[in-house]
């Protein structure tokens, strides 16, 4: 087992993540710490980092290094971004950190920072084409990608902190300052001719995550997830105009908004609001990825850090890191999709639903990392809350409820996801259709010995005859699968008979 730490010195905050990496490269985030330092605000006359700003940064990095030592981290990667990059005395900070901690800090160029954000993003989402916006305190990085390949990239040397200070937006903005701020953004974005070439805007960085939290509270959205949430452009506009009428003290009372970001939020939302307009995107997707993810994947796969398949990587990573019974999960998933394919005339579903069944089959026992008692409840929670990347929120919720229903129906709080979340009423019918297939498939490997090699479903009027093949005795599997016949008949209106072939 290897344990690495990544320290990211941004313009607004300094962050530390610690990641465990097993011998098979399966990995797991075990620490995620942040201290608000505002290095960008520590830039004085002449573009110099102030002594106070340097002291605060050095103290924070030293504290993080000591924490890494206590957590037995063997390798630390440290980088600094816009605030340090733009400072004429950046070397003073870098030298002091090295002298006091022994850690060498790499000051990223704007191009490197944008590239690392891009790596982190495309390794975290299944969208193959889009416009990435990485908004920090001192810069805004924009990357347009097609087929997951970087096509356009630009770094704008302004961010939420620098524009907040320039246009005096920390407290309740003066209308004239707000108009000047928006005019500056519109002029800046108009110079980027390719902005409207991409169908979806995907935001990373603390401001986007703050917006997601505020939005979730504003509309009582479930699940309580930032990563992958889609926010309508109209909601971004509404929140921007609402928060810009509030004083700083009033903003600090807004549900979901961190105290440390209350002064920045109007500026940040203004940038997002005007960028959406310039890019002509109807909505915004928020990703929880960051340059720290880019740094990690570049460390893990130095020759080619771009994952071949995002969903496959993160699914396999969960299975391998938590030492789940992979052979059992693969057998159940194969049996489930075989049933799906052979019963297509009965259920009439397509490839998208097949993928949901496949994912639920692979993750149907993820809850054992908590406890085998109340496994369905723990499975729902872990699928919803694990770092399982590559599914939209609707897909993730559907997979979670399917996985939790692998031995019987589990519908706790499902109505909330229809009323306040990404599901629609028809999704309940979809879960009801797919769940019996997973239940039968799970039963067909009940002994976990792989005694069932394949199966054949024959549809007759009012009857589904399921013949189970194998080279060993399989009475347990046949008997357990037959247990689900009533649920199958209730959903599909035909009798299920399970027979050894």
Nearest-5° Cα angle at 326, 404 to 303: 115
- 45 band by pLDDT with thresholds 50, 70 and 90: low
Is 2-108 CATH 2.70.98.10?
no
pLDDT above 80 for 21: yes
Is 310-500 CATH 1.20.1640.10?
no
Q: What is the CATH number of domain 111-292?
A: 3.30.420.150
Residue 50, CA atoms < 13 Å, CB-side half-sphere: 12
Residue 68 DSSP SS3: helix
Tokens of 348: 């009439």
Residue 431 has a pLDDT of 98
What does the H/E/C string look like for 440-492? HHHHCCCCCCCCCCEEEEEEECCEEEEEEECCCCCHHHHHHHHCCHHHHHHHH
Instruction: Mean pLDDT check: name the lowest of 3-17, 41-55, 252-266.
Output: 41-55
387: nearest Cα among 15, 5, 27:
27
Residue 44 has a pLDDT of 56
Q: How far apart are CA 444 and CA 465, in angstroms?
A: 15
Q: How far apart are CA 339 and CA 358, in angstroms?
A: 11
Domain locations along the chain? 2-108, 111-292, 310-500
Q: What is the dihedral of CA 341, 344, 348, 354, to 10 degrees?
A: -10
60: nearest Cα among 26, 36, 82:
36
Condensed to tens digits (0 to 9), the pLDDT of residues 375-384 reads: 999 999 999 9
Condensed to tens digits (0 to 9), the pLDDT of residues 175-232 reads: 999 999 999 999 999 999 999 999 999 999 999 999 999 999 999 999 999 999 999 9
pLDDT above 90 for 443: yes
Q: In what order do the strands lie in the sheet with 105-107?
A: 27-36, 13-21, 2-9, 75-80, 105-107
Pairing of strands 130-135, 201-204: parallel
The reported pTM is 0.94
Tokens of 299: 């460390």
Condensed to tens digits (0 to 9), the pLDDT of residues 471-498 reads: 899 999 999 999 999 999 999 999 999 9
Q: What is the mean pLDDT of residues 141-146?
A: 98
* Same fold? 2-108, 111-292: yes
């Amino acid at each position: 087992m290897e344990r690495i730490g990544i320290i990211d010195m941004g313009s607004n905050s300094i962050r530390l993540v610690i990641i465990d990496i097993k011998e098979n490269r399966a990995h797991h985030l075990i620490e995620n710490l942040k201290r608000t330092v505002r290095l960008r605000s520590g830039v004085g006359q002449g573009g110099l980092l102030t002594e106070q700003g340097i002291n605060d940064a050095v103290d924070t990095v030293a504290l993080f290094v000591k924490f890494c030592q206590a957590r037995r981290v063997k390798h630390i990667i440290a980088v600094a971004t816009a605030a340090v990059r733009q400072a004429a005395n950046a070397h003073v900070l870098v030298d002091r950190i090295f002298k006091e901690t022994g850690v060498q800090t790499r000051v990223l160029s704007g191009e490197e920072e944008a590239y690392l954000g891009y790596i982190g993003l495309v390794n975290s989402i299944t969208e193959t084409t889009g416009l990435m916006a990485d908004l920090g305190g001192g810069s805004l990085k924009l990357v347009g990608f097609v087929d997951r390949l970087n096509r356009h990239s630009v770094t704008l040397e302004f961010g939420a902190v620098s524009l907040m200070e320039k246009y005096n937006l920390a407290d309740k903005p003066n209308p004239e300052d707000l108009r000047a701020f928006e005019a500056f953004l519109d002029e800046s974005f108009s110079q980027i001719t390719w902005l409207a070439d991409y169908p979806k805007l995907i935001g990373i960085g603390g401001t986007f995550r703050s917006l997601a939290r505020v939005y979730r509270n504003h509309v009582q959205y479930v699940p309580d997830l930032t990563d992958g949430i889609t926010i309508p452009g109209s909601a971004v506009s509404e929140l921007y105009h609402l928060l810009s009428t509030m004083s700083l003290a009033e903003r600090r009372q807004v549900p979901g908004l961190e105290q440390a970001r209350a002064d920045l939020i109007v500026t940040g939302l203004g940038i997002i609001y005007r960028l959406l307009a310039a890019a002509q995107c109807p909505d915004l997707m928020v990703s929880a990825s960051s340059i720290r993810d880019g740094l990690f994947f570049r460390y893990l796969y130095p020759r080619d850090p771009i994952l071949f398949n995002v969903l496959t990587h993160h699914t396999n990573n969960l299975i391998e890191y938590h030492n789940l019974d992979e052979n059992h999960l693969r057998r159940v998933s194969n049996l489930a999709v075989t049933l799906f394919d052979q019963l297509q005339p009965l259920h009439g579903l397509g490839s998208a639903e097949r993928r949901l069944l496949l994912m639920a089959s692979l993750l149907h026992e993820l809850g054992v990392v908590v406890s085998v008692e109340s496994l369905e409840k723990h499975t729902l929670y872990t699928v919803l809350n694990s770092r399982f990347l590559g599914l939209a929120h609707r897909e993730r919720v559907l997979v979670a409820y399917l996985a939790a229903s692998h031995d019987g129906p589990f519908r706790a709080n499902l109505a909330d996801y229809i009323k306040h979340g990404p599901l629609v009423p028809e999704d309940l019918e979809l879960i009801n259709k797919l769940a019996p297939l997973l239940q039968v498939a799970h039963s067909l490997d009940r002994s976990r010995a792989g005694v069932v090699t394949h199966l054949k479903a024959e549809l007759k009027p009012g009857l589904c005859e399921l013949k189970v093949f194998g080279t060993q005795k399989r009475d347990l599997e046949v008997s357990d699968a037959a247990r689900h016949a009533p649920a199958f008949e209730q959903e599909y209106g035909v009798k299920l008979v399970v027979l050894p072939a």
